[in-house]
Amino acid sequence: PKARSTVPKPVLVDKDGPVLLPCPVRSYHATYRWEKDNCIKQYPCTISGSSCVLAPTPDLPLKEGVFRCMAEESGLQQEVVSYKLVFNGGPLSTSLASTLGSTLLLAAAAHWLL
């Protein structure tokens, strides 16, 4: 059974800027993966310290949409975190995109979406 889903956090990114979506690792016995837009595509999750990062590859470039981090342990699936990726069309600096995870970015993303 799938656990209830999380509310996607809006993330505003530059089309050409680096994007690293972090997912907190709560158990090292679980397997983590990223799903995009209702499981059509699955992306690998690279564990780095206490988080599992979705990093784009040439085969799987990041596109706009909702990314969900799924953890599976002993047959139980749980959605850990989700992000709604929105590409920035204006001339905002890439430094905004690189401060992913900061409240400033999330506040800015929420502001732009209103």
Domains of the chain, residue spans: 9-113
Query: pTM for this one?
Result: 0.68
Q: Rounded CA gap, 39 and 80, in Å?
A: 15
With 80 as the cut, is the pLDDT of residue 96 above it?
A: no
pLDDT tens per residue across span 18-37: 788 999 999 989 999 999 98
Which pLDDT value is given to residue 35? Answer: 92
Question: Would you call 53 helix, strand, or coil by DSSP?
Answer: strand
CA dist 114 → 107, 108, 110 (Å) = 11, 10, 6
Confidence band (pLDDT; 50, 70, 90) for 77?
very high
Top-confidence residue, 94 or 22: 22
With 50 as the cut, is the pLDDT of residue 16 above it?
A: yes
- Enter the CATH code of domain 9-113: 2.60.40.10
Other Cβ atoms closer than 10 A to 1? 6
